[in-house]
Amino acid sequence: MTRSTATPATPAAPHRILVLGAGYAGMAAAVRLARRTRGLGAEVVLVNPTPRFAERLRMHQSAAGQQLTDLRIPDLVAGSGIRFVEGRATAIDAERQEVALRTADGVRTLGYDTLVHALGSITDTAAVPGAEDHAYTLDGHGATTRLAERLAELNAAGGGTVTVSGSGLTGVETAAEIAESHPALRVVLLGRERPGSMMGPKARAHLDAALARLNVEVRTGVEITKVLPDGIELAAGELVHSDATVWTAGVRVPPLAAHAGIATDDRGRLLTEPSLRSTSHASVWAIGDAAAVRQSYGVVHGTCQSGIPTGIHAADQITRTLRGRAPKPFRFGYLHQPVSLGRHDGVVQFTRPDDTPRRACLTGKRAMAYKEFVSNTPPQTYRLSTRFNLPSRMLWTRGGRSNG
């Protein structure tokens, strides 16, 4: 009897799915992928600069000096099989399918078979001279902690003026939160449009009344041309004194994808097919704020409301491709615009799928309870998704709607 001398087959390397960014969209994609790809020979790696999960819906609270729950990404994905890597992506090599990371141990590279780009957006402090050097942002726990410390200094000194640049909903929430938490400070909200301009008359009137009650000074129709160490210069030449300038006027996408030759639009967002796959690189998918997701009513604007549905959809379509099936298109409709106005008031404008206002809205304590429910849902959903294969209709946790 002859003994076989054949060499045992080498097990195939797992299909590595690399998720860059652990914000709302990236977390949704990672936990969904880990659950859906079990048994398919896939490995899910989640990369983020810090192990702390940044609740962007609550950054204005942190800026006002409130202590948020310290949510840790490894805890939220525990038991899912996801491998978490703490590091900041510094470059993407789309041809070699590698990502360069800066970690505590130095620079390293991670290869991928499928890349999910979920790096999101950051405040655009490059648009106006001086903003980069002299303005505070809400870009993560470190940034809001620095702002909170500055506000505490002003309080200890007996007061001061805080300007919030940008009259969008983030600016409104920030101005209201600071004014309520620090009544000794003068808070000025500056913007081109009136606060709540996208809302219906009833919701807008409630928002206006709340800002007036909190003594927030609102100035609209202004264009900021320069940020100074102690003030803001307007287009008409007027100088507005500011002891602390908070910048919420516009966002930009990190340029990693554009530098890698991946197709992007003029704002740096990745161009996607209807399935959320990159138009230029089949191995790349884009979700959240970093994706230019086109719908029948236009490009989806970057909000947490749309982020989770894009993450869920991309995860499901990547799973379909691993099974040899064609991906389905993403369809999304907005549901609401929830806004907190301090800790005891709020307004929720319900919308049509294209984000135009319906007649219905909530105000006061009911709106605040609604906003709190919305803000609390994502971490709970991530934990549940690691244990159960939840239907996509149960995961419209940001109020958005998708086809799953």
Within-domain flag for 223: yes
Residues 20 and 109 in one domain: yes
Question: Which strand (E) or helix (H) includes residue 401?
Answer: strand 401-402
Residues 21 and 91 placed together within one structural domain of the fold: yes
pLDDT for position 196: 96
pLDDT at 370: 97
Asked if 169 and 248 count as a contact pair (C-beta separation under 8 A), the reply is no
- Examine residue 74 and state whether it is found in any structural domain, yes or no: no
Looking at the DSSP bridge assignments, the partners of residue 91 are 100
Give the sign of the dihedral formed by CA 177, CA 183, CA 185, CA 186: positive
The answer on 240 and 139 residing in a single domain is yes
Distance separating alpha carbons of residues 79 and 383, to the nearest angstrom: 9
- Tell me, yes or no, whether 78 lies in a domain: no
Contact 47, 85 (CB under 8 A): yes
Q: Is 353 found in the same domain as 238?
A: yes
Instruction: Mark whether 236 and 117 lie in a shared domain.
Output: no
Q: Specify whether 182 is located in the same domain as 160.
A: yes
CATH number at residue 269: 3.50.50.60
Nearest Cα to 216, choosing from 183, 256, 254? Answer: 183
Kindly state the DSSP code that residue 37 receives in the 8-state scheme: T
Looking at the structure, tell me whether residues 348 and 219 fall in a common domain. yes
Containing 292, the helix (H) or strand (E) segment is strand 291-292
The verdict on 37 and 160 lying in the same domain is: no
Residue 289 covered by a domain: yes
Asked whether residue 143 falls in the same domain as residue 284, the answer is no
pLDDT in tens, the chain (404 residues): 444 455 555 557 899 999 999 999 999 999 999 999 999 999 999 999 999 999 999 999 999 999 999 999 999 999 999 999 999 999 999 999 999 999 999 999 999 999 999 999 999 999 999 999 999 999 999 999 999 999 999 999 999 999 999 999 999 999 999 999 999 999 999 999 999 999 999 999 999 999 999 999 999 999 999 999 999 999 989 999 999 999 999 899 999 999 999 999 998 999 999 999 999 999 999 999 999 999 999 999 877 789 999 999 999 999 999 999 999 999 999 999 999 999 999 999 999 999 999 999 999 999 999 999 999 999 988 988 877 776 665 454 434 444 43
Domain end position, chosen among 311, 333, 355: 333
User: Does residue 168 sit in the same domain as residue 291?
Assistant: no
* Residue where a domain stops, chosen among 292, 313, 333: 333
Predicted confidence at residue 398, as pLDDT, reads 39
Query: Does one domain contain both 92 and 230?
Result: no
Residue 100 covered by a domain: yes
Name the residue range of residue 305's domain: 15-49+87-121+253-333
Same-domain pairing of 242 and 346:
yes
CA distances (Å), 369 to each of 63, 78, 124, 365, 404, in order? 21, 29, 31, 6, 27
3-state percent helix, strand, coil for the chain, nearest multiple of 5:
30, 30, 40
Number of domains in the chain: 2
320, 337, 342: which is closest to 329 by C-alpha?
320
**CATH at residue 133:** 3.50.50.100
End-of-domain residue from the set 318, 333, 348: 333
